[in-house]
Amino acid sequence: MTALRTRSETGDISSTGTILFVCTGNICRSPFLELSLRHRLAQRSITSVAVRSAGTEALLRRPIASLMEELLAQEDIDATSFRTRQLEKHMVRSADLILTAERSHRSAVARLLPSALPRIFTVRQAARLINAAPAGSVQGTGLNPVQYLALLCASGRTINQPSGGAKDDIPDPWQQSRSTYRNVAETMKEPLDVLANAIAAHRTAPSLSRTN
């Protein structure tokens, strides 16, 4: 296998791994993903991974959609302080892994910063690639957990069903029914669990974990 370069090899590494979720308005899907993953990581005693979100067409400083806020509250996740952000190049540049709601968002992020393409996946695509990755498919030391996941996903792009078509997209519930919001939220929970479990597993692997 061709060696995959990491940002740590080029001296561009932050003190913590960073995941950036992206959707259109940063008002429904990406804030749900951000807050839910942060919650799942905290439940696993992981607080050093930065989790953020932004929108390709965000209205700035808006709260999360009320129905999505209700769904988060049912899991004891407080979204009252959340405010929307517009996606900017520096956010992409500083993220170790960029996960989008839809394939169109993946393309938009890549246009903003083409060099980030190896780190950009849809959320559902990333979960599928992580689940399908064979043991030992990524080798490396000094990686934070998020860099490791990015390389794990990149390694599977050409061998593990790299594109799932429309199945890689999370539908947009904006201004739709309560049941639609609930169904979309349920769609996001499985890939969130995959991400949280993979980060936790990397953190506890002696041969791969970074010294804190």
Q: Per-residue pLDDT for the chain (212 aa), expressed as one digit of tens each?
A: 333 434 433 333 344 799 999 999 999 999 999 999 999 999 999 999 999 999 999 989 999 999 999 999 999 999 999 999 999 999 999 999 999 999 999 999 999 999 999 999 999 999 999 998 877 777 766 889 999 999 999 888 766 555 678 999 999 999 999 999 999 999 999 999 999 999 999 877 654 333 33
3-state secondary structure string, 57-114?
CCCCCCCCCHHHHHHHHCCCCCCCCCCCCECCHHHHHHCCEEEECCHHHHHHHHHHCH
Q: Which amino acid is at 157?
A: R
- Give the contacts of 29 (CB within 8 A, at least 6 positions apart): 21, 23, 101, 170, 172, 173, 184, 188
pTM for this predicted structure: 0.89
Q: How many domains does the chain have?
A: 1
Q: How far apart are CA 34 and CA 26, in angstroms?
A: 10
In a domain, 91, yes or no: yes
- Least Cα distance to 29 among 83, 80, 68, 87 occurs for 68
CA diameter of the chain: 47
51 assigned to some structural domain: yes
**Residue 6 within any structural domain of the chain:** no
Helix (H, G, I), strand (E, B) or coil at 8: helix
Question: Is 1 domain-assigned?
Answer: no
SS3 23: strand
**Is residue 136 a part of any domain in this protein?**
yes
| Residue 12: inside a domain | no
Query: For the chain, how are helix, strand and coil distributed in percent, rounded to 5?
Result: 45, 10, 45
Whether 206 is covered by a domain: the verdict is no
CATH number at residue 192: 3.40.50.2300
| 209: in domain | no
Asked if 171 and 102 count as a contact pair (C-beta separation under 8 A), the reply is no
Expressed as residue numbers, the domain containing 24 is: 17-199
